[in-house]
Amino acid sequence: MPDDTIAAVATAIAPGEGSVAIVRLSGPEAEAIGQRLFVTPGDQPWESHRVLYGHVCDPASGERVDEALLLLMRAPRSFTRETVVEFHCHGGLISVQRVLELVLASGARRALPGEFSQRAFLNGRLDLTRAEAISELVTARSRRAAQLAMAGLDGGMQARIGALRERLLDQLAELEARVDFEEDLPPLDGDAVAAELAAVQAELEQLVADGERGQLLRDGLRVAIVGRPNVGKSSLLNRLSCTERAIVTDLPGTTRDLVESELVLHGVPLTLLDTAGIRSTSDRVEQIGIQRSRSALKSADAVLLLFDLSVGWCDDDAALRELVPDGVPLLVVGNKADQLKADASSASAPADVCISALTGAGESELVAQLLTRCGHSDPQGVQLALNRRQQDLAAAAAVSLGASLEAARQQLPWDFWTIDLRAAVRALGEITGEEVSEAVLDRVFSRFCIGK
Ligand SMILES: Nc1nc2c(ncn2[C@@H]2O[C@H](COP(=O)(O)OP(=O)(O)OP(=O)(O)O)[C@@H](O)[C@H]2O)c(=O)[nH]1
Ligand SMILES: [Mg+2]
């Protein structure tokens, strides 16, 4: 168990923003440090789970550094199950940093990312899936991602994985007993064991597939809008993001640099990239912009290739389509449908969807097709989603179960079944945190933000 006291600013740090900032301490010295630095007027009792009003003062000079509230939560009734002290200071950068410096000068150590949560885990306050869910909630970029994180925080993942692990442990116990005391025990029905292992394996595979869809809600997508000059790329970016983010003119070559916009479509966080129209040009600045368009096209998670319906699909559009890497979802979008003459339907031939960035026609069809191509077909379908780490472990467990089932199929002795079954149990225990090494824990928590 850690025996030192850690401290960090627990709230977001951004210049000039936020009205309250919290400096959080956890550990055996937290209360003593709080008493040393906090001066309270009047007769306020220093009690746990009470808010005190006062000033944070520099004990060396007596200078008042900030007016603040202090919250003391004595062990074990705190997030970390250690004694926690929080200074609720005025927001802004300078005074909060000074409060933290005083706390550090009084004997606390700067907390590593996720170290408060790591202590909560080590002290049995949280299981690993809940701890990870907290981090996911903090970093969620869409409401759906936050809902998934909350499902994990409510213990849904722990219960689900824990139950599967229990089922495997039951089978493992039966098998191991037969390895040692076969003749003293009633015979074991190998088919029933194999059926149970196969059922757990199927559930794990389903969880991995759901996790893949959940990943989209967590990580979001980078979508590049590319096309020849003047086809309406910037107009589309502005329409989808409901802002006048990018400059639009009727001059080809208006956009010279990448323009990014963050938005959420059907729960999926998107970074939309408007790019310079691709053509051959002697303009130096435009050439550099076009180079950036080409790299955006190659590195994006998905590409919207725009062309102008009033001009029609041409060889240059076709050449651009060739640049999109294999396997990257691509949607060919005909724009300026409002200018398309009724008798010119051939112009729209290669288009997956026709829109007008000017009027908004076709926009919802475009969004629906884009998300479908990126694998987001049923936004409400995923209720629980494993993160990457958990997915890898669940997939490894499913593979181990496959090996056990193979031993079953070949009717090998019981101890051959148990080897891989034990590996599967261990992998699930690594998800829930019941069987996890310190190195893995350090890696998991280091991805958290500081102060969490
Ligand atoms: N009629 C019509 N005009 C459009 C539509 N979309 C864009 N435009 C016009 O087309 C012109 C070019 O639009 P932009 O959005 O600047 O085109 P772009 O593809 O970003 O052009 P570059 O930045 O030069 O590559 C502007 O005059 C827009 O108003 C549309 O759907 N219908
Ligand atoms: Mg543009």
How does the average pLDDT of the chain come out, rounded? 92
Give CA–CA dist 147/143, Å, rounded. 6
Same domain, 314 and 351: yes
430 CA → ligand 1 middle, Å: 53
Same domain, 228 and 329: yes
Same domain, 322 and 342: yes
Q: What is the pLDDT of residue 348?
A: 67
Query: Does residue 103 fall inside a structural domain?
Result: yes
Same domain, 109 and 11: yes
Same domain, 369 and 226: yes
Number of domains in the chain: 3
Same domain, 121 and 252: no
Q: What is the pLDDT of residue 138?
A: 86
Among residues 92, 127, 162, the one where a domain terminates is 127
Residue of 239, 244, 248, 259 with the most ligand 1 atoms within 8 Å of its CB, for mutation: 248
Least confident segment among 31-35, 261-265, 437-441: 437-441
Residue 379: is its pLDDT beyond 60?
no
Beta-bridge partner residues of 354: 334
CB neighbours of residue 29 within 10 Å: 22
Among residues 373, 401, 419, the one where a domain terminates is 373
Say which residue, 91 or 227, is predicted with more confidence.
Answer: 227
Same domain, 330 and 393: no
Sign of CA dihedral 186, 188, 189, 195: positive
Confidence of residue 305 (pLDDT cuts 50, 70, 90): very high
CATH number at residue 280: 3.40.50.300
- Domain boundaries, position 17: 6-127
Query: Does residue 76 fall inside a structural domain?
Result: yes
Among residues 127, 144, 171, the one where a domain terminates is 127
Query: Does residue 87 fall inside a structural domain?
Result: yes
Residue of 225, 231, 235, 359 with the most ligand 1 atoms within 8 Å of its CB, for mutation: 235
CATH number at residue 421: 1.20.120.430
Least confident segment among 237-246, 313-322, 431-440: 431-440
Q: What is the pLDDT of residue 448?
A: 83
346 CA → ligand 2 middle, Å: 26
255 Cα nearest atom in ligand 1: 23
Query: Does residue 290 fall inside a structural domain?
Result: yes
Same domain, 210 and 260: no
Query: Does residue 145 fall inside a structural domain?
Result: no
Q: What is the pLDDT of residue 180?
A: 82
Q: What is the pLDDT of residues 322-357, one digit of tens each?
A: 999 999 999 999 999 999 876 556 666 789 999 999
Query: Which ligand places an atom closest to the C-alpha of 277?
Result: 1
Residues with CB under 6 Å of ligand 1 are: 227, 229-235, 248-250, 252-255, 276-277, 335-336, 338-339, 356-358
205 CA → ligand 2 middle, Å: 44
355 CA → ligand 1 middle, Å: 12
Least confident segment among 155-164, 206-215, 316-325: 206-215
Query: Does residue 326 fall inside a structural domain?
Result: yes
Query: Does residue 437 fall inside a structural domain?
Result: no
Query: Does residue 141 fall inside a structural domain?
Result: no
Same domain, 334 and 238: yes
Same domain, 416 and 315: no
Over residues 430-450, mean pLDDT:
87
Residue of 226, 230, 335 with the most ligand 1 atoms within 8 Å of its CB, for mutation: 230
Over residues 367-391, mean pLDDT:
83
Same domain, 249 and 282: yes
Q: What is the pLDDT of residues 31-49, one digit of tens each?
A: 999 999 999 999 999 999 9
223 CA → ligand 2 middle, Å: 15
Residue 8: is its pLDDT beyond 80?
yes
Residue nearest to atom 14 of ligand 1 (CA): 232
Same domain, 209 and 239: no
Sheet holding 221-227, edge to edge: 259-265, 268-274, 221-227, 302-308, 330-335, 353-354
340 CA → ligand 1 middle, Å: 14
250 Cα nearest atom in ligand 1: 27
Say which residue, 25 or 382, is predicted with more confidence.
Answer: 25
Query: Which ligand places an atom closest to the C-alpha of 335?
Result: 1
Residue 21: is its pLDDT beyond 60?
yes
Residue 292: is its pLDDT beyond 80?
yes
Contact indicator for 352, 333 with CB cutoff of 8 Å: yes
CATH number at residue 18: 3.30.1360.120
Residue nearest to atom 30 of ligand 1 (CA): 336
417 CA → ligand 1 middle, Å: 65
